[in-house]
Amino acid sequence: MLMRVFAYCFEYEDGIVMTEGVAAGDEPAVMVRDLTGRITAWIEVGMPDADRLHRGIKLAGRAAVYTHRDARKLLAAFSSANIHRVAEIPVYAFDRSFVDEIAGLLGRRSSFSLSITERELYLEIAGRPFRTTVVEHRVPRQLPG
């Protein structure tokens, strides 16, 4: 849930919504719809399936992934899969220890303040300040060969 909140904050624009998550089936964790209802951004979290990402970018035209897992494994899986315009899909990696520490402080009803500057996330929870840099990765373009 924490990664969905972070993805929502980083991607915020008119028409953004959080879906039901794992229970959403064929929907991403977060998506953006335009005024006609068409999906314009497909945002996944964690370790999304390559087929879902392929379907999402073809449908929306723009996709992104936010993860606190091993970004190298994710990039390797994506580079060996058939994903439409995979080199255009950013994979934003959070430091796993940062996410684990924040998740450990969250209760059923938690308040926190969050601000984002570029790819820097500043968070205060339970009176404690935190800061992390979110690193962007991309699958290298395949050269014709």
- What 10-18 contacts at long range (C-beta under 8 Å, 24+ apart), as own/partner pairs, is 10/66, 10/92, 10/116, 10/121, 10/134, 11/41, 11/43, 11/64, 13/41, 15/40, 16/41
pLDDT at 107: 83
Judge contact between 42 and 59, C-beta under 8 A.
yes
According to DSSP, residue 136 is labeled E
Q: ∠ CA 48-116-53 to the nearest 5 degrees?
A: 15
Query: Would you write out the chain's pLDDT as a tens digit for each of its 145 residues?
Result: 889 999 999 999 999 999 986 656 788 999 999 999 999 999 999 999 999 999 999 999 999 999 999 999 999 999 999 999 999 999 999 999 999 999 888 888 888 999 999 899 999 998 899 999 999 999 887 644 4
**Is residue 78 classed as helix, strand or coil in its secondary structure?**
helix
According to DSSP, residue 108 is labeled S
Judge contact between 134 and 68, C-beta under 8 A.
no
22 to each of 1, 40, 53, how far by Cα in Å? 10, 20, 15
State which fold the 2-137 domain adopts.
Answer: Restriction endonuclease-like alpha-beta roll fold (3.10.640)
